[in-house]
């Protein structure tokens, strides 16, 4: 295992806050009851800040502020072009401080700095995309010649509850905030408790860009407290959630009482299917990046690699050699490819799966904590990029989401077997297919149980396309006009152009 670092001691960004507060109605505030929780950085696992821990009372205040801004404020009534100008200023502000955002995100999450920088830049692009989209939005009109014109009036739904995860938190917050605000909704954001740092920057970004007070509200806290209160609040008509599947099931149940709109992007155990006719060099590059980038903490990770048997041994040998050479170390070092996992709880979970994997597959690389880390990194949540081969489809490491730098490789003999293996889990978020046979590529892509399929590529997104999964990987789709559809109601308006024949009930 290779480790390198430009640092000789634990890096702490300048001007790091020691307390993280809620943002409600245009003001930073503490919890009504004074509750807090500790926030750790994943390299030292030491507390660097305390965050306000939102409770029912704090959610009530945030929702009230958002509802007042929606009912009485200018934001939902602004012309799309006016909202778009504000959102472009948000993007400008994000781009202007992308290095600072990346620095804080890396410190808070353990993501490698180069990857965190890319996520910050993507956050700006999300705002630009939806700013442009809302101006270009066209609604349907239907004409019945001489009789009727029917048109669709698109209206923002109201207060949107946004619950976001701890992997790439700033970018994933932007993925929900941008379309919600573009549509004219007001929002209450509940970021993940492991990583609240970068979310706290949104308040000043929005204020400087000209977002009116009350349109954006932020409540930190534990999911079972703040998140639960937000989901159950009767004045929040829709919830967008990204996170783990069992949490999504709980949210689904709790939304039922008020028949809330839901969009949920949940877990994944995505297959990468490598056929013998594939460009093997490109497939190895892409599948390595697909599972080990972002520390393996990504829902679309290609964490199951299915390889045609005639190239299986060669693939495994080359893949394991590359995995063993991945640079693990200080997240702030530009050379680092895998940093520290986000939190000790998650670190323990991933290591437990590594131990399970040793009983279920043939260990080719990794298998635990990397050797040779410098002393000042010794307390960090580090897991070596770990590769298991010959993994049976019944194995837990084949079936269950690990969400870390761990991959299972399994051979197949026929297209039908490959499809059965690809579909043989409860998840259905993404799939990756490697073949030069165009007919096979289309047929396999259309048969695989996945909301998104990439052919001869890793996860390269076009923001216009729908994003979401099937089966246990989610409910609904966002992205492009699907996001606008979620955050708006489509009202049909019918205008009569000629006398209408109406049966005269009671007229004799």
Question: Which residues, 6 or more positions from 192, have their beta carbon under 8 angstroms from its beta carbon?
Answer: 164, 165, 166, 169, 243
User: Which tokens go with 241?
Assistant: 């959630």
Residue 328 contacts residue 341 (beta carbons within 8 Å): no
- Calculate Rg over the CA atoms of the chain: 24
Q: Select which of 35, 105, 193, 265 is catalytic.
A: 265
SS3 286: helix
SS3 256: helix
Q: Tell me, letter by letter, the H, E, C secondary structure of 293-332.
A: HHHHCCCCCCCEEEEEHHHHHHHHHHHHHHHHCCEECCCC
User: Which tokens go with 18?
Assistant: 């020691």
- The secondary structure of residue 357, as a DSSP letter, is H
Residue 122 contacts residue 171 (beta carbons within 8 Å): yes
SS3 472: coil
Q: Select which of 35, 299, 337, 401 is catalytic.
A: 299
Residue 204 appears among annotated catalytic residues: no
Residue 299 appears among annotated catalytic residues: yes
- Provide the terminal-to-terminal Cα distance of the chain, rounded to the nearest Å: 92
Residue 331 contacts residue 2 (beta carbons within 8 Å): no
Query: Rounded CA gap, 188 and 163, in Å?
Result: 9
Percent of the chain as helix, strand, coil, to the nearest 5:
40, 20, 40
**Phi-psi sector, 500: left (phi>0), alpha (psi -120 to 50), beta:** beta
Burial (Cβ within 10 Å: 0-12, 13-18, ≥19) of residue 348: exposed
Active site residues: 265, 299
């Amino acid at each position: 295992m290779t480790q390198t670092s430009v640092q000789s001691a634990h890096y702490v960004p300048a001007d790091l806050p020691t307390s993280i507060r809620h943002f409600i109605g245009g003001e930073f505030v503490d919890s009504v009851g004074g509750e807090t929780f500790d926030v750790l950085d994943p390299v030292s696992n030491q507390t660097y800040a305390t965050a306000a821990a939102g409770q029912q009372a704090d959610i009530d205040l945030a929702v009230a502020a958002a509802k007042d801004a929606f009912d009485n404020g200018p934001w939902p009534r602004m012309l799309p072009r006016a909202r778009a100008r504000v959102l472009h200023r948000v993007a400008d502000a994000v781009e202007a401080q992308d290095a600072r955002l990346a620095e804080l995100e890396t410190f808070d999450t353990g993501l490698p700095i180069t990857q965190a920088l890319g996520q910050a830049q993507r956050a700006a692009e999300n705002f630009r995309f939806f700013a442009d989209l809302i101006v270009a939005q066209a609604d349907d009109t239907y004409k019945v010649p001489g009789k009727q014109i029917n048109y669709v009036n698109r209206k923002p739904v109201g207060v949107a509850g946004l619950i976001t995860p701890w992997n790439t938190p700033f970018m994933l917050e932007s993925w929900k905030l941008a379309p919600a605000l573009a549509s004219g909704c007001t929002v209450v954001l509940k970021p993940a408790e492991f990583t609240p740092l970068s979310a706290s920057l949104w308040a000043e970004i929005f204020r400087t860009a000209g977002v009116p007070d009350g349109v954006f509200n932020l409540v930190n806290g534990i999911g079972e407290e703040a998140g639960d209160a937000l989901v159950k609040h009767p004045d929040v008509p829709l919830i967008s959630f990204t996170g783990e599947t069992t949490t999504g099931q709980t949210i689904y149940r709790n939304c039922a009482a008020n028949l809330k709109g839901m969009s949920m992007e949940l877990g994944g155990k995505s297959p990468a299917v490598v056929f013998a006719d594939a460009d093997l060099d490109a497939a190895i590059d892409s599948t390595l990046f697909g599972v080990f980038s972002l520390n393996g903490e990504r829902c679309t990770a290609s964490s199951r690699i299915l390889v045609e048997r005639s190239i299986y041994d060669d693939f495994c040998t080359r893949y394991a050699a590359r995995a063993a050479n991945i640079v693990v170390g200080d997240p702030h070092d530009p050379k680092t490819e895998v940093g520290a996992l986000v939190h000790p709880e998650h670190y323990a979970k991933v290591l437990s799966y590594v131990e399970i994997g040793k009983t279920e597959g043939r260990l080719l690389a990794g298998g635990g904590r990397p050797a040779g880390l410098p002393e000042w990194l010794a307390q960090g949540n580090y897991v070596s990029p770990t590769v298991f081969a010959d993994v049976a489809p019944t194995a837990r490491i084949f079936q269950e989401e690990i969400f870390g730098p761990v991959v299972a490789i399994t051979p197949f003999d026929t297209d039908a077997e490959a499809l059965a293996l690809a579909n043989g889990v409860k998840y259905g978020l993404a799939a990756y297919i490697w073949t030069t046979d165009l007919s096979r590529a289309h047929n396999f892509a259309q048969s695989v149980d996945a909301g998104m399929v990439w052919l001869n590529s890793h996860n390269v997104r076009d923001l216009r396309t729908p994003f979401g999964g099937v089966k246990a990987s989610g409910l609904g789709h966002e992205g492009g006009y699907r996001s606008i559809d979620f955050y708006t109601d489509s009202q049909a308006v019918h205008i009569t152009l000629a006398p209408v024949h109406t049966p005269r009930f009671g007229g004799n």
